[in-house]
Chains A and B, each alone.
Chain A
Amino acid sequence: MATIVIGGGVVGLSVAYGLLKRGKEVIVLDGADDDFRASRGNFGLVWVQGKGANAPHYATWSRRSAALWSSFAQDLHAETGVDVDYQNAGGVEYFTDEAALQKQVETLSRLRDALGGDYPFDVLDHAALQERVPEIGPKVVGGIYTNMDGHVNPLYLLRALSIAVRKAGGTITTGTHVVKVDAQDRDFTVLLEDGTRIAGDALVLAAGLGAMELAHSLGFEAPIRPQQGQVLITEKLPFFLKYPSGTLRQVNEGGVQIGASKAEVGFDDDEDISTSAALAQHAIDVFPHLGQVKLLRSWAALRIMSPDGLPIYQRSPTALGASFMTCHSGITLAAAHANLMPDWVLESNAAPDVSQFSESRFHV
């Protein structure tokens, strides 16, 4: 019997890929083109720096995934011919405000202490940062570098995963809309809008914001909300930026991607000029020469945000064999979702301990 994965974005495809590698039959049900698709709108970071500032287990989990990313990218390349351009030279956060830099240094230092010292980062003043990144402008007071960070081309990742899943024998049905799930222990029947019924003995709900529609019927609470992020992308430029940051990275094709705003505006994924202008101003503050370049596109997308910003991994309390996975860092965590989480879905002894990411943490 098949494992049904509801959601054909990066999270659903990553776990589907891993399940196929463990010999499972997998059916992925992907949504419609006009669904909210974080997998197509995201920033493409494999990011550790600053994550889990108040939740060291999330810092550890992010770092564990980042450490798996090289071999994950190599596997995908070998199996699909798609190079997702994973770069792991490290990342830099740029600061234009001394107090903000000091505050972040304190935050990361506390996190490093909580992790027993194993959390490498360098605090760089303007001069030291300029040695690594000569293009920074005078408004940059300093930065924080860590070798834990990297980035990837997220659209190539999505393509590679969909090819890899199909090559491994998985089925991906696109343009589906799940109307309801009949869920009994290890016996699931998914009803699609077109009347099709799909049966499986396990089910993974990884449908991003779409999971909100189905979660309760499967016994999940899914206390998630959309958080809008807007990004800009410039024309293709001579390559200058080796290190990505949380807000600026140069993609392998030359464009500089500028992000990322955070707005609580519900299910609104329209970009607006004032947000674009603020993002552009930040980019120019860090790299003044970007003031001369053309922007080609801007867009908004919706993050999937939990109350504490951490992933949710929850097994259904009402139907054995059903699992819920959601996060706002599907790219960073893709390697863990592909390599580690299948064992959790399959309830194997090799499963990682993700109990701290269950929904019970919201009940305190």
Chain B
Amino acid sequence: MFRAMAGEDVKRPISFTFEGRTVAAAPGMSVAAALLAEGITAFRQTAVSQSERGPFCMMGTCYDCVVLINGETVQACMTPVREGLIVARVPIVTQAQAS
């Protein structure tokens, strides 16, 4: 599992929310890094089996960390944190649920 290279004592003055929960972050962190530092590892569920997914590559390749920000799905690992960001899980409606 990913962990912070600088240790746990980095000042995290920025605050944003994930699914309503307040998350603290340091400037320059990605949303993914901030969530992981907060102990949040499951960012979304798969569309087919609804199994939990979180960051795998942290470099913009795997798309396993996508979250919803301002109505758009974005890669959490490629999105810098900003004060007041409202981050949510990507909603999942399966074919079976819809029909």
Residues on A lying within 8 angstroms of B by beta carbon are 85, 87, 89, 235-240, 242, 250, 252-254, 292-294, 296
Residue in A89, A254, A292, A293 whose CB lies within 8 Å of B47:
A254
Q: B91 an interface residue at 8 Å Cβ cutoff?
A: yes
Instruction: Say how far A347's CB is from chain B's closest CB, in angstroms.
Output: 42
Further 15 A-B residue pairs, CB within 8 A, beyond A242-B99, A252-B95: A235-B63, A238-B47, A238-B90, A238-B91, A238-B92, A239-B94, A239-B98, A240-B93, A250-B95, A253-B47, A254-B47, A254-B94, A292-B72, A293-B73, A296-B63
**A-B residue pairs in contact (CB < 8 Å), sample of 11:** A236-B46, A236-B47, A238-B91, A239-B47, A239-B94, A240-B93, A240-B98, A254-B47, A292-B71, A293-B72, A293-B73
The residue on A at minimum CB distance from B93 is: A238
Tell me how far the C-beta of A132 lies from the nearest C-beta in chain B, rounded to whole angstroms: 13
Chain B, Cβ-Cβ closest to A237? B47
Bound: A292/B47 CA distance, A? 18
Decide yes or no: A252 and B98 within 8 Å by CB, A235-B73, A239-B93, A293-B73 being known contacts: no
Q: Mark B59-96, 1 if CB is under 8 A from A, else 0.
A: 00001001000011100000000000000001111110
Judge if B1 is at the interface, Cβ distance under 8 Å: no
> Min CB distance, A13 to chain B, in Å?
25
With CB as the reference atom, state the residue of chain A lying closest to B97. A239
CB distance from B2 to the nearest CB of A (A): 23
Contacts known (A235-B63, A235-B66, A238-B92); A294 close to B73, Cβ less than 8 A: yes
Interface residues of B (CB under 8 A from A): 46-48, 63, 66, 71-73, 90-95, 97-99
Residues of B within 8 A of A85 (CB): 95
- List residues of chain B with CB within 8 A of the CB of A250: 95
Residue from B71, B72, B95 having most chain A Cβ neighbours under 10 A? B95
Among residues of A, the one whose C-beta sits closest to the C-beta of B66 is A235
Q: Which residue of B lies closest to A85 (CB)?
A: B95
User: In the complex, what residues of B have CB within 8 A of residue A296's CB?
Assistant: 63
Cα distance A324–B95 in the bound complex, in angstroms: 38
Across the interface, name the chain A residue whose C-beta is closest to B44.
A236
Q: How far is the CA of A253 from the CA of B71 in the complex (A)?
A: 21
Which of chain A's residues have a CB closer than 8 A to the CB of B71? 292
Within 8 Å CB of B46, what residues of A? 236
- The interface residues of chain B lying within 8 Å CB-to-CB of A89 are 99
Complex Cα gap A235–B71 (Å) = 14
State how many angstroms separate the Cβ of A234 from the closest Cβ of chain B.
Answer: 10
B residues in contact with A235, CB < 8 Å: 63, 66, 73
CB distance from B66 to the nearest CB of A (A): 7
